[in-house]
Amino acid sequence: MAKGIRDKIAIIGMGCTRFGERWESGAEDLMVESFTECLADAGIERKEIQAAYLGCYNDEVNIGKSAVPLAKTLKLPFIPVTRLENYCATATEAFRAACYAVASGAYDIALALGVEKLKDAGYGGLPGGAGAGVDAFMAGANATAPGAFAQLATAYAAKHGITMEQIKHALAHVSVKSHANGALNKKAHLRKVITEEQVLAAPMIAYPLGLFDCCGVSDGSAAAIVTTTDIARAIKPKEEIISVKSIQIAATSGEESISTNWDGSYFATTRRAAMQAYEEAAIKNPRQEISMMEVHDCFSITEFVTMEDLFISPEGSACDDVLNGLFDLNGGIPCQVDGGLKCFGHPVGASGLRMLYAMYEQLLERVPEERKVHNARLGLTHNLGGRPHQNVAAICIIGRG
């Protein structure tokens, strides 16, 4: 009978580049940058890595369809390398592959690395309508990413009897909070504090989502080295052991598109993945047990709705929790502690590992005092790839011990 992955795997090293308009760097340069930090953090030699997994979504503007460039760039000595992609959950998929490769007993130490050079695409969003599936590129207003996700807000407001003005103020708070956190992070792309007034007065992209409600396009890379908890204890002091409590991925069955049961106000995949993740991690009350989160804030409404899909906020109460500061840096469950997609942008192949890096840094207390989450024990990351009616959700939970 399946027992899950809880506490079988430990992260012994992580690295992350500065995200942004990295015109001076190719994908290979970014891979070297994140890997160099990761390897030094792990305290092992390159030759000890026995398998590697590369997350990269848009091969046309990056490194191609193979993982061989990872082996060549990092000079990995004739080990198996595998390229993966799974919409916006690509980096988390690479991390999951590395973890399960080690948990299976096939390897002792494995590398997961994600990279993406989206700025090279010359387009203001994801190239080719990434994640749209059968939707034609720019086929209509609601076939664009902002159009599709904006409908979440209207559906949510209608379902719960909340006015659009209330929704807009809550969404503004989400963006203001993330920018305040990102302004403190040297690796973030966007590092300016914004005000609620600026958010509400910004140009409208797809009602009710304005300019500050949408994450940007960016370049970046992040990496992790994982091993068994037993090996980790031989390498690292006890206080530096960060273990994997859960990794769960749920892909749509298609029923959201063809069934009248789904009302468009939530993500069925996130709810399913969350239930499975909490069971695997033995979490009974996520609102009380989760210390901090990085969730997929491609749009502010996505973060807002995710609070309920993760069973942190009771259904219909996300507005109150957001406006009451529960997810602020000094709140009960800080969310987007490094600035999130909103301030890092979303280089698809790297985002999931960048989120884990944020949790990892906090758990090891390696962040400056002004952006530290005190007494953090468990960190959760969440990716969402695709559109509200057709998507994949990925959740990781990591923690001390």
Active site residues: 88, 346
Give the chain's largest Cα–Cα span: 59
In terms of C-beta density within 10 A (0-12 exposed, 13-18 middle, 19 or more buried), how is residue 390 classed?
A: buried
Residues whose CB falls within 8 Å of the CB of residue 279, separated by 6 or more in sequence, listed in order: none
Q: Tokens for 105, please give them.
A: 């007993």
Among positive and negative, which fits the CA dihedral 267, 268, 271, 272?
Answer: negative
For residues 397 and 380, is the Cβ–Cβ distance under 8 A?
Answer: yes
For residues 89 and 83, is the Cβ–Cβ distance under 8 A?
Answer: no
**SS3 of the chain: helix, strand, coil, percent, to 5:** 40, 20, 40
* Measured distance CA(257)–CA(305) in Å, rounded: 19
Residue in 107, 15, 92 with CA at minimum distance from that of residue 52: 107
Q: Tokens for 400, please give them.
A: 């001390």
Residues whose CB falls within 8 Å of the CB of residue 96, separated by 6 or more in sequence, listed in order: 247, 249, 394, 396
DSSP calls for 16-42: EPPPB--TT--HHHHHHHHHHHHHHHH
